[in-house]
Structure 1
Amino acid sequence: MLEANNVGLEVDAPPGSEEESLHLLQEVAFSVPQGHLMAIVGPSGCGKTTLLKVIAGIVEQTNGELKWEGRDLKEEEDLHPGELGYVPQFSVAHDLLTVEECVANSMSLRTQLPGTDEFEPKLDKVLELTGLTELAERRVKVLSGGQKRRLGLALELVTNPCLLLCDEVTSGLDPKSEREITDLLKVLSRENPRRLVINVTHSLASLEAFDSVLVMYKGRLVYHGPPKLLTHYFTVDHPEEVYLRLTQRDTQAWHESWQKKREYYEKMLLESAPEQPKRRDDGEPEDETISPEELPGLFSQVFTLLHRRWTIFRRDSGQVWLHLAMLFGFPLLVVIFALDGIKPLKQLSQRQDSNMLYELQQKSEHMVQQLNAGGLVSGLVMLQVVLVTLMASNNAAREIAGERLILEREKLGGLSTTAYVISKVFFLGVFVLAQSVWMGIFVDMVTGGLPGHLLTKLVLLVLVSAAMTSVCLGISAMCRTPEKATILSIYLVGFQLPLSGAVLSLPDWIEGAVNPFIAAFWAWSGSLRSMSDTAFYDAVKRVTETSLVSSELAAFVLLAHIIIGLSMTYVGSKGSQWE
């Protein structure tokens, strides 16, 4: 049984409000038996979804207590991920996967069934139960609204949860589809004797299919009873008139009226409820077959996430062609400026010529040659670095923000944040290595060999790519929308060139303040410093007023950028960003 005793939720009021706090929920109290289907209804903004999130543990109540099977969910251990199923209103699966792949991935992330003889039968059972067997090979993006709602239910049923919470899974559907989903919820509430199914809905059209209806109004519970008594309680002719009727009295009056009649209606519900599952002396249910599924290990989740991510990437032809274009097009863009190669620098003759005019001419030509060579080498290195950071930004900016809502659902189902971040590191690491190493090698081959140590330059290119990837991944994890993450990442890359000091020298006091945050500066500066034993080093210094740092220091700072970016990624991924 699920019991709520005077549950309340209070939050800080927005700036400029006359009140110090807002009461999203106030004195919500009800009891719901298992084997039961309950609807939570009410006008928009009345607290329906908020109450569901409190029950799910997404939001913690500030007052009262919430009990499941006699266990206080706030004071004692929360529900095991396998006991809880939460079906959000939004899309819950990746568009490029098939229905069967989505359900199989959910089973792999939430159970230890993969690799056992039970996996295929359980997968087939879930698909059959939700009416998705014939749609198993169909991709998510072509499913109808009702079919996507069925898929959302299937993803949660892989653990056979005893508490199934649904947020607006029937909203926006045509009457036929709405009725079909409601009938499915009814079946699910009976399929497991311990299961309680709660559905938040704005619609009042199919209430007769529910065992009980809970009506919320401005954060308060104003009715909880059989749907057939709803019109009698509110003295209306049709359920659709209830919302209008609510506006005719203030919230407190409705709440007080309900408090007087609550005992009678809830007694009727409990008397009509199916027999509750028997328990042993230790409080556990006698039926061991419905115990929660054990979660898979860390590396099992990492493997599942990686396999899923590569499947999605391969099927996204637009992304594949974009990455190929950047991989081969950006190095070509660099070498366009050095198609004639980098000509060796001639040494200035140390012999003093009797012809002073000729000697001055020779020195002038040597100076021009040095300036041209220094500008070319410095520009080629910086262009490589900036283009690598641009590719890194493109790779990571939308990586987490673009699937944020799916991540939230999977975390609630037991996905490890550590496993999620590791999977992103491995996935994006392939692009970091491929893009930066190919950039360095291709440019070096076409130009006849940039001065300096090739291995050092390659290492710095890999590190700057990894640094920008990590930071942009952290931005993606912190942002609520992919659009915002993309804009911030573009700004970050856009500031790399002007603030690096490679084109125009910055004032000393600004240079010291901004250099630690400019990844491009460290890769560029460290690469140029690796030329210190070549004739080009003096030429580079002539066109570069910015002080150059050692390759070792540059590598150390870039590693610090990577650590900071991955820390941002973990913190941002672990934090909750439910809508």
Structure 2
Amino acid sequence: MLELHNISLSVLRDGENQSLLENIHFSVPSGHLLAIVGPSGCGKTTLMKTIAGLKEEDTGEILWQGRNLAEDGDLHPSELGYVPQFSIAHELLTIEECVTSAITLRTRQNDDESATALLDQTLKSTGLTALRDRQVKILSGGQKRRLGLALEIVTQPTLLLCDEVTSGLDPKSEREITQLLHDLARADRNRIVINVTHNLGNLSLYDTVLVLHEGRVIYHGPPRALAHYFSVEHAEDIYPKLARRSAERWADSWDRHRDAYYATYELAPPGTLEPIDKPKIVSDREPGKISLPKAKAPSIEDDEDSQSPPPVEPQETKPHHKRKHHRHEVDEAHELPGFLTQTIELLTRRWTIFWRDRSQLWLQLAMLLGFPLLVVIFGFEGIPQVRTLSQRADANFIVEAQERSAHLQSQLNAGGLVSGLILMQIVLVTLMASNNAAREIASERDILERERLGGLSSSAYITSKVLFLGGFVVAQTVWMGLFVELLCHGIPGSLLIKLLLLLLSSAAMSAICLGISALMRTPEKATILSIYLVGFQLPLSGAVLALPKSIEPLAQPFIAAYWGWSGSLSTMKATAFYDAVRQVTTTTLAPWNIAAFVLLLHIIIGLALAYIGTKRTQWD
């Protein structure tokens, strides 16, 4: 049984507390299908998220199977299924791949045969067997809702919360989904299914209906008693009638009639595990339908012409305990998969999606080949000529004073070219890193939220992203460094150290942009912020124009391009090119080992931000 005792929740808006839920008080027995209805903005989704633990109530208690969630911890992922309004799944995966992934991430299976059996059972129970090979992107709205349900029932949850899964569907599809919810509630006598819906015309399959108005419960009973209670001809006429009275008066009226309705329709009030003790009402009702008894139940019209009802004494509430976020212990059969299993599944799934995304493949290929060519265009002829000029100058500089002016000019050219080529490589790899990581988490935020509620480890998620993006970092930087080195006939300095700094620069930008992606709610915001970040690399690096001495120490610690550029140039100290570089820049050059250390700090900070962002709930 699910019991809510005087649940209230408010938020601070414009400096004032705005109540979202007010003294919510009801219970739902096992094997039950409940509809939560009410006008837009009445608190239906907020109530669902509070039950699921996504929002924390200010006062009151939520009990699940007699267990106080505030004292004993949240529902375990195996106990809870939460289906958002719109199906959340990767568009390029098939139905079978989506469900298989959910099974791997949320359950422990003894072998492949048991996993396959669970897959087949899940597809069959949701009517998706014939569609198992279809990609999500070509599914209809109803089929996507079925998939959303399939992803949640792989753990056989005892509490299934559905947030408007029938919204926007045609009448036939809506009734099919409602029938599916009815069947899921009946399939397990210990299961409770709760569905938020706007439609009041398709309630016959529900056991009871909970009506919310401005965050208050104003009715909880069988669907066929709705019209009787509100004194309307059809249930669809309820919403217009709600505007005639304040939510407080509706709630006060329900408080007076609630016990009589619970007794009449054999419903269990909160705080009891059995219905009210009274003679059974004999009826030939069908499963899921409740027939009206001959005795007339109290009607809301009884209060319509009366004065405002007398104030109702507030029910005593127990001291509120901050809701704990540890998981309730379950038996071994319902334990979550380990870190390694989740990481491998996430990584495999991500690569599958990447290889199927043709536009992303072509973009990656274009950057991989095009960016190094762009660097080579500027250095293909310049580096050999500069090297020759530099070598001749070393021999003749002191002896042939008349060539000093020409030599100075060659030094400036050499320094500018070498510095520019190094900086160009750094900026281009950071640009590729930004493109790779900026949308990586934000673009699948809703999927992450659903899977985290289902028991996905944030550590496993971040590790899979690091491994996925790490492949691009290594491929892009190594190819960039070796390609430029080969075609430009060698840029001065240690090749290994330059490759290391190039790789660390790319990894640092990838980590920082991954952190941005985790903190932002939408991929568009993450992309814009990451683009700005890359854009600041060039002017604030000090490689083109030296920063004022008062600003330089403040800006440089945050600019990855500066550390990659200056560290690479510092490896040339043993060559004549270093003097040439110093002729064209007055910016302080950091030793390569210091630069590498700072870039490692950037990586650590970026990954820490990514972890924090994935741990923070961002449900709409």
Q: Which of the numbers 177, 180, 184 marks the counterpart of 1:184?
A: 180
Q: Distance in 2 between matches of 1:139 and 1:570?
A: 30
Which residue in 1 is equivalent to 2:263? 267
Are residues 548 and 154 of structure 1, via their aligned partners in 2, closer, same or farther at CA, if it must alter by over 3 Å?
Answer: same
Superimposed CA distance per residue, residues 172-202 of structure 1 (whole angstroms, 9 cap, x where no aligned partner): 0000000000000000000011000000011
Alignment pair present for 1:467 and 2:508: yes
- The answer to whether the Cα contact below 8 Å between 2:108 and 2:333 also exists between their aligned partners in 1 is no
Report deviation, 1:271.
5.4
Q: Write the mapping of 1:139-288 to structure 2, written as runs, cut at 5 A.
A: 139-270=135-266
**2:14 paired with 1:14:** yes
Q: Show CA shifts across 1:396-440 (max 9, x none).
A: 000000000100000000000010000000000000100011100
- In the alignment, which residue of structure 1 is the partner of 2:325? none
Which residue of structure 2 lines up, in the alignment, with residue 320 of structure 1? 361
Q: CA deviation at 1:114?
A: 6.5
Cα pair 1:65 1:74 within 8 Å, conserved: yes
1:373 is aligned to 414
1:488 aligns with 2:529: yes
- C-alpha distance in structure 2 between counterparts of 1:291 and 1:441, whole Å: 52
Residue in structure 1 matched with residue 609 of structure 2 by the alignment:
568
Determine if the alignment matches structure 1 residue 438 to structure 2 residue 479: yes
One-letter identity of the residue aligned with 1:5: H
Per the alignment, in what secondary structure is the counterpart of residue 58 of structure 1? Answer: coil
Shift in alpha-carbon separation, 1:63–1:292, aligned structure 2, 3 A: farther
C-alpha distance in 2 between matches for 1:87 and 1:544: 59
**Superposition TM-score, scaled by structure 1 size:** 0.94
Q: Secondary structure at the match of 1:508?
A: coil
In 2, Cα distance between the equivalents of 1:182 and 1:574?
33
Residue 290 (structure 1) shift? 10
Amino acid at match of 1:474: G
Unaligned runs of 5+ in 2: 275-329
Please state if 1:577 is matched with 2:615. Answer: no
Asked whether the equivalents of residues 29 and 268 of structure 2 are also in contact (C-alpha less than 8 Å), the reply is: no
- Provide the C-alpha distance between the structure 1 equivalents of 2:201 and 2:412, rounded to a whole number of angstroms: 79
The whole-number CA distance in structure 2 between the counterparts of 1:290 and 1:157 is: 18
> Structure 1 CA distance, aligned partners of 2:363 and 2:617?
32
Structure 1 counterpart of 2:368, which letter? Answer: L
CA distance in structure 1 between the aligned counterparts of 2:571 and 2:458, rounded to whole angstroms? 39
Call closer, same or farther: CA 1:550–1:473 in 2, change over 3 Å.
same
- Per-residue CA deviations over 1:230-271 (Å, capped at 9, x if unaligned) read 011111111111111110000110000000111122334545
For residues 306-455 of structure 1, the aligned pairs below 5 Å read 306-343=347-384, 344=387, 345=390, 346-348=392-394, 349-350=396-397, 352=399, 359-360=401-402, 362-455=403-496
Q: Which residue type is aligned with residue 508 of structure 1?
A: K
Letter paired with 1:103: V
Q: How far 1:341 moved relative to its partner?
A: 4.7
Deviation at 1:13, TM superposition (A): 2.3
% identity of equivalent residues: 60
Provide the C-alpha distance between the structure 1 equivalents of 2:599 and 2:511, rounded to a whole number of angstroms: 11
Aligned length: 556
Q: Distance in 1 between matches of 2:474 and 2:495?
A: 15
Give, as a single letter, the amino acid of the residue that structure 2 aligns with 1:13: R
CA contact 2:33–2:208 (8 Å) conserved in 1: yes
Contact 1:85 1:164 in 2 (8 A): yes
- Please give the per-residue CA displacement for 1:32-85, whole angstroms capped at 9, x wherever unaligned: 111110000000000000000011111111111111111111121221100000
Inter-partner Cα distance in structure 2 for 1:575 and 1:290:
28
Given residue 149 of structure 1, which amino acid in structure 2 is its aligned partner? R
Distance verdict in 2 for CA 1:441–1:351, change over 3 Å: closer
Aligned equivalent of 1:527: 568
Root mean square deviation, CA, Å: 1.6
Q: Tell whether the 8 Å contact from 2:262 to 2:268 is kept in structure 1 after alignment.
A: no
The amino acid of 2:151's aligned partner reads L
Measured after TM superposition, the shift of residue 118 of structure 1 is 1.1
Of 126, 130, 140, the match for 2:126: 130
With over 3 angstroms needed to count, the CA separation of the structure-2 counterparts of 1:114 and 1:544, relative to structure 1, is farther
Q: CA deviation at 1:392?
A: 0.2
Distance 1:7 1:352 in 2: 92
Contact map agreement 1:331 1:442 (CA 8 A) in 2? yes
1:372 counterpart SS class: helix
Segments of 5+ residues of structure 1 without an aligned counterpart are: 278-288, 354-358
- CA distance in 1 between partners of 2:430 and 2:362 (Å): 19
- 1:351–1:9 distance in 2 versus 1, CA, 3 Å: closer
**Aligned equivalents of 2:110, 2:90: Cα separation in 1:** 20
* Secondary structure, aligned partner of 1:173: coil
* Number of the residue aligned with 2:60: 64
Cα 1:390/1:352, change in 2 over 3 Å: closer
In structure 2, relative to structure 1, the CA distance for the partners of 1:291 and 1:224 (3 Å cut) is farther
Report the secondary structure of 2:413's partner residue: helix
Which deviates more, 511-520 or 258-267? 258-267
1:296 is aligned, of 304, 327, 337, to 337
Q: 1:34 matched to which residue of 2? A: 30
How far is the alpha carbon of 1:272 from its aligned partner?
A: 9.7
After TM superposition, give the deviation of residue 293 of structure 1 in Å. 2.0
Q: Output the amino acid matched with 2:8.
A: G
Out of 65, 87, 102, the position equivalent to 1:91 is 87
**Residues of 1 paired with 2:12 and 2:467: CA distance?**
40
1:561/1:271 CA distance change after superposition, 3 Å: closer
- Name the residue aligned to 1:286: none
TM-score (norm 2): 0.88
Inter-partner Cα distance in structure 2 for 1:325 and 1:548: 33
For the pair 1:511 / 2:541, whether they are aligned, the reply is no
| Residue aligning to 1:280 | none
Mapped partners of 1:376, 1:481: distance in 2 = 40
The CA distance in 2 between the partners of 1:350 and 1:545, in whole Å, is 23
User: Structure 1's 251 and 292: CA in aligned 2 closer, same or farther, altered over 3 A?
Assistant: farther
Post-superposition Cα deviations, 1:359-418, rounded to whole Å, max 9, x if no partner, equal: 33x111101111111111000000000000000000000000000010000000000001
Letter aligned with residue 393 of structure 2: Q
- Classify the secondary structure of the residue corresponding to 2:113: coil
Query: Which deviates further from its counterpart, 6-15 or 124-133?
Result: 6-15
Match of 1:146, SS state, is helix
Aligned: 1:478 with 2:519: yes
Residue aligning to 2:587: 546
Q: Which runs of 4+ in 1 moved over 4 A?
A: 268-273, 289-292, 350-353
